[in-house]
């Protein structure tokens, strides 16, 4: 097959069309954020505005709601959830992958079943428990239900199963405890999987609107998607230029983080997928 064969051309064309379909909404969001209100509803479909209003729209987005606090809330919540999930998932996955104990297969089955239970199914009892403890409108309410990730345990389990047993045996001969093996041997070799899981976790919880909408009513505790909802309510839903500017501000950290970790993310997904 030559470098410019018809098959290669068709494959690249299909991939380009798919990429354009995914990028098009983001490009349109950027276009609306650049335009003044009168140009957004004009008959012209030009992406570039005739009069630039980016500064005006961004100013509205930053002043109508506490956008800085909202972004900080997103960073704190996603960071706490990720750290706690890794602290729980890594030792649990290591135990099921490398240790022999009664009930290990039953635990793996429970993990697989746990992947089928969405947060929506157990939201009401969790809300009642948080309300009874007086932790609504706090970071505890936003973080606590997600500290255990069955998806994270499953992802690390697949990765750890392919790690050579000789490496762990050598660490035991050196006198390491099982916990020491986890954090000094397993984790340094599992960064691709951890990075891949971090992208999944941060994206999921940064974009989550369902749970914050239930447990948060104070603007100062709002996460980015809920902050956009409060902003839209404050703007009566008609200033789409400012709304799209706020959306760009909220999504930009995710785009930057993914581009920075893209190589490790792809590596982690590839390795985890091949080591079943």
Non-local (6+) Cβ contacts of 168 within 8 A are 98, 181, 185, 186
Give the pLDDT score at 1: 45
Length of the chain: 276
**Overall CATH class of domain 60-273:** mainly alpha
**Residue 177: CA atoms inside 13 Å, Cβ hemisphere, count?**
4
Integer angstrom CA distances of residue 27 from 31, 110, 218, 251, 257? 6, 42, 32, 12, 18
Q: What is the pTM of this model?
A: 0.84
d(C-alpha 88, C-alpha 12), whole Å:
41
| Burial category of 142 from C-beta neighbours within 10 Å (exposed 0-12, middle 13-18, buried 19 and up) | buried
pLDDT digit string, tens, across residues 129-187: 999 999 999 999 999 999 999 999 998 998 888 888 888 888 888 888 888 888 888 88
d(C-alpha 61, C-alpha 70), whole Å:
12
Per-domain residue ranges for the chain?
60-273
pLDDT digit string, tens, across residues 254-266: 888 777 777 766 6
d(C-alpha 253, C-alpha 205), whole Å:
13
Q: How confident is the model at residue 276 (pLDDT cuts 50, 70, 90)?
A: very low
């Amino acid at each position: 097959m030559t470098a410019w064969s018809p098959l290669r051309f068709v494959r690249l064309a299909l991939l380009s069309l798919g990429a354009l379909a995914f990028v098009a909404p983001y490009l349109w969001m950027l276009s609306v954020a650049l335009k003044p209100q009168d140009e957004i509803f004009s008959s012209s479909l030009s992406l570039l505005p005739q009069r630039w209003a980016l500064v005006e729209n961004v100013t509205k987005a930053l002043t109508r709601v506490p956008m800085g606090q909202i972004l900080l809330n997103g960073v704190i919540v996603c960071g706490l959830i990720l750290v706690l999930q890794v602290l729980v998932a890594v030792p649990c996955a290591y135990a099921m992958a490398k240790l022999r104990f009664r009930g290990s297969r039953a635990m793996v089955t429970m993990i697989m079943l746990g992947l089928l239970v969405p947060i929506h199914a157990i939201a009401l009892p969790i809300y009642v428990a948080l309300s009874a403890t007086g932790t609504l409108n706090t970071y505890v309410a936003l973080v606590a239900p997600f500290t255990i990730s069955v998806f994270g345990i499953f992802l690390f389990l697949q990765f750890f199963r392919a790690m050579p047993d000789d490496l762990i045996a050598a660490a035991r001969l050196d006198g390491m405890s099982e916990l020491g093996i986890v954090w000094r041997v397993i984790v340094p070799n599992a960064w691709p999987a951890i990075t891949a899981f971090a992208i999944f976790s941060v994206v999921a919880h940064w974009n989550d609107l369902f749970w914050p909408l239930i447990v948060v009513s104070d603007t100062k505790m709002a996460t980015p998607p809920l902050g956009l909802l409060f902003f839209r309510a404050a703007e009566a839903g008609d200033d789409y230029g400012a709304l799209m500017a706020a959306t760009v501000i909220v999504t930009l950290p995710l785009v930057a983080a993914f581009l920075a970790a893209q190589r490790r993310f792809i590596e982690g997904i590839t390795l985890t997928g091949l080591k079943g």
